[in-house]
Amino acid sequence: MKITGVELRRIAMPLVTPFRTSFGTETTREVVLVRVVTPDAEGWGECVAMAEPRYSSEYADGAADVLRRFLIPALSRYAAELAEPAEFDAQAAERAMEPFKGHRMAKAALETAVLDARLRARGESFGSFLGAARDRVPCGVSVGIMDSVPRLLDAVAGYVEEGYVRIKLKIEPGWDVAPVRAVRERFGDDLLLQVDANAAYGLADAHHLARLDAFGLLLVEQPLADDDLVQHARLAKLLRTPICLDESIGSAAHAAAAISLGSCSIVNVKPGRVGGYLEARRIHDLCRAHGVAVWCGGMLETGLGRAANVALAALPGFTLPGDTSGSGRYYATDITPPFVLDGGHLTVPTGPGLGVSPVPEILDEVTVTTEWIPL
């Protein structure tokens, strides 16, 4: 596939409500968008790196830098070596970027844009390419840390009212047992409920975390440090609540290690965190072969990233509701036509590629900078 050039576009999207986690508070989502232009089609990729390196080491400006200096030029070198246009697909892009260590979120954005261009050119949807097994997916919502339990209960009530089928509460030391108990008491035992600590605890907190066992949670997500699979395996033996890993899983190799060590029994699959949709699918396949449930995580994506996530979440091993919320949970105005919940589900797009495109006027309104890199 011949690539004419790549556009890097920095956008700033105000969130409808501040999103507080154990690592910080987000009020505006700053996003790097990648647009790959070919003679036949153009493709979009959304980089999920956040403005500051708090969730992981990547951050938006760093991602833009590595894309511009290393990853995009690597694509051009690779393309020049290929005689057969048909061979230039997402796997080729993945191989071309492989010599550069890390920067998985940046790689994922470029790989997604290449894949989108390729799929749009041949009229195939992301869902069909990835192997989606259904046409709609059940949706959960991730609820940030709040100033008070009554405020939290109001927020959760609103989401339940909207139809979300699963609630995830962000927790941190000082905001864990009490909010979980309050939500359980108010909404009953049937509510699918889970928590996410974003690595805020240590193994010394095991006894405290075990108090969460009383509330019938689906899982506790990333209680301990990103790089500590061994401690997570120890913790798993001390809790009845299943452990799910997010930050710790950067690749299929990490997932394999976590499974064999017993560090988790559920995996949150975020395509950005693992370097793209191809690696995300490998993790799905691996977990499915081991009987480990997966679900699709989120990074407050715009409609572009959401479209691809919803397609991924339709694969057969995604047996738990994902953090694939409707556009309105994040943004008053999305850059694509909005994803709207229907009976707690989102519909998997069926159009070519991502199946959605940015609305030019809306995109322009939120654009901070653009940069064109010819190949």
Helix, strand, coil fractions of the chain, as percent rounded to 5: 40, 25, 35
Query: Among residues 241, 325, 327, 357, which is the contact residue for ligand OSB, using CB under 6 A?
Result: 325
Residue position matching structure tokens 């999207």: 13
Q: Per rule CB under 5 A, is residue 196 in the interface with Mg ion?
A: yes
CA atoms 201, 205, 211, 217: torsion sign? positive
Q: How far is the C-alpha of 160 from the C-alpha of 178, rounded, in Å?
A: 19
The stretch among 60-68, 206-214, 254-262, 297-305 that binds ligand OSB (CB under 6 A) is: 297-305
| Sheet strands (E) in 77-125 | none
Which one of ligand OSB, Mg ion, none interacts with residue 325, CB within 5 to 8 A by kind? ligand OSB
Side chain identity, residue 6: V
Q: What are the backbone angles phi and psi of residue 341, rounded to the nearest 5°?
A: -65, 135
Instruction: Give catalytic status of residue 170 as yes or no.
Output: yes
Of the two residues 16 and 289, which places its CB atom closer to ligand OSB in the complex?
Answer: 16
Instruction: Tell which one of 26, 46, 226, 246 touches Mg ion (CB under 5 A).
Output: 246
Let me know if 107 is a catalytic residue. no
Among 38, 198, 327, 336, which residue sits at the site for ligand OSB (rule: CB under 6 A)? 198
323 is an interface residue for Mg ion by CB under 5 A: no
Per CB under 6 A, contacts with ligand OSB among 75-104 are none
Residue nearest Mg ion, Cβ-based = 246
Which residue has the closest beta carbon to ligand OSB?
298
CB-based contact 197:172 (threshold 8 Å): yes
**Contact call for residue 142 and ligand OSB (CB under 6 A):** yes
Number of residues interacting with Mg ion: please give it, by CB under 5 A.
3
Q: Which is nearer to Mg ion, 22 or 336 (CB)?
A: 22
Indicate whether 323 belongs to the interface with ligand OSB (CB under 6 A): yes
User: Which DSSP string corresponds to 308-350?
Assistant: HHHHHHTSTTB-S-BS---GGGT-SS-SSSPP--BTTEEEPP-
CB-nearer residue toward Mg ion: 94 or 246: 246
Q: Of residues 58, 111, 246, 279, which one binds ligand OSB by CB under 6 A? A: 246
- Catalytic residue chosen out of the listed positions 101, 168, 237, 270: 270
Residue 111 interacts with, from ligand OSB, Mg ion, none (CB under 5-8 Å by kind):
none
Residue 312's φ and ψ, nearest 5 degrees, are -60, -40
Relative orientation angle of helices 303-313 and 277-289, to the nearest 10 degrees:
30
Using rule CB under 6 A, residue 298 touches ligand OSB? yes
List 22, 42, 55, 269, residue binding ligand OSB (CB under 6 A): 55
- Residue 129 · residue 348 · CB < 8 Å: no
- Which structure tokens are listed for 282? 């490998």
Sign of the dihedral defined by the CA atoms of residues 114, 131, 323, 317, in that order: negative
Contact residues for ligand OSB (CB under 6 A)?
Answer: 55, 142, 196, 198, 246, 297-300, 323, 325
Catalytic residues, by residue number, are 170, 270
